[in-house]
């Protein structure tokens, strides 16, 4: 069940009541987390969703339609890293990808029963940020080119092109295994 700040939401009136009661607290940040490493069985492992404060009490097993956008973006963009790295011969120890998006549902309910959403909430999905943490021994230029390819050509991110998008890449070399002092 959809729960907003502890109250169940089952219809339009419940939504409007929550918007009026909580105002700008309805705007929040979603994060979808994707991970791939040597223990991963498939690059298509599902992403994990972190909900904004207003929705944390919603049913943990439920994925609401608007939340699927974040999960699809994280899984699709995340899986591009190991797939294209493998194809291009780029060694990849791990990738941790987070799709972070600011969401404000009030725009969908604008002009219903006297409710007026703030103009900034008009499109509900307000921003997306792609942050990739890549562990690899590959040259920095190769990792940057891989990241650029994912961000600029990923099919789900492309479908979301109407949402302002920013991105960042953090790279690190693999940790070297420590030799035993007992030789």
Q: Which two tokens stand for residue 135?
A: 């562990």
pLDDT tens digits, one per residue of 155-181: 999 999 999 999 999 999 998 754 444
| The residue to which tokens 């959809």 are assigned | 2
| Listed residue (49, 44, 52) closest to 60, CA to CA | 49
The fraction of the chain above a pLDDT of 90, given in percent, is 95
Q: Mention every residue, 6+ apart, whose C-beta is less than 8 A from residue 99.
A: 30, 31, 32, 34, 47, 70, 73, 74, 77, 128, 129, 130
pLDDT at 145: 98
Q: pLDDT tens digits, residue range 17-66?
A: 999 999 999 999 999 999 999 999 999 999 999 999 999 999 999 999 99
Q: For residue range 106-126, what is the model confidence (pLDDT) as tens digits? A: 999 999 999 999 999 999 999
Which tokens sit at 98?
A: 């987070």
Angle at CA of residue 39, ends 30 and 35, nearest 5°: 15
The predicted pLDDT at position 180 comes to: 41
* pLDDT at residue number 183: 42
Q: Which residues pair with 132 in a beta bridge?
A: 97, 169
Burial degree of 5 (CB within 10 A; 0-12, 13-18, 19+): middle
How do the domains of the chain map onto residue ranges? 3-13+28-172
Which pLDDT score, from 0 to 100, does residue 182 have? Answer: 44
Class of domain 3-13+28-172: alpha beta
């Amino acid at each position: 069940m959809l729960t907003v700040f502890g109250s169940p939401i089952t219809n339009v009136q419940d939504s409007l009541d929550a918007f009026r009661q909580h105002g700008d607290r309805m705007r929040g940040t979603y994060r979808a987390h994707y991970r791939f490493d040597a223990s991963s069985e498939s690059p298509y492992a599902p992403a994990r969703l972190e909900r904004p404060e207003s929705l944390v009490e919603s049913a943990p097993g439920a994925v609401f339609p608007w939340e699927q956008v974040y999960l699809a973006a994280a899984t699709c963009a995340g899986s591009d890293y190991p797939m294209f790295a493998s194809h291009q011969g780029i060694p990849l120890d791990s990738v941790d990808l987070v799709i972070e998006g600011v969401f404000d549902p009030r725009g969908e309910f604008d002009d219903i029963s006297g409710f007026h959403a703030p103009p900034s909430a008009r499109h509900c999905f307000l921003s997306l940020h792609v942050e990739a943490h890549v562990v690899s021994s590959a040259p920095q230029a190769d990792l940057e080119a891989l990241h650029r390819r994912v961000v600029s050509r990923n099919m789900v991110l492309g479908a979301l092109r109407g949402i302002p998008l920013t991105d960042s890449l953090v790279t690190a070399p693999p940790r070297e295994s420590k030799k035993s002092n007992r030789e």
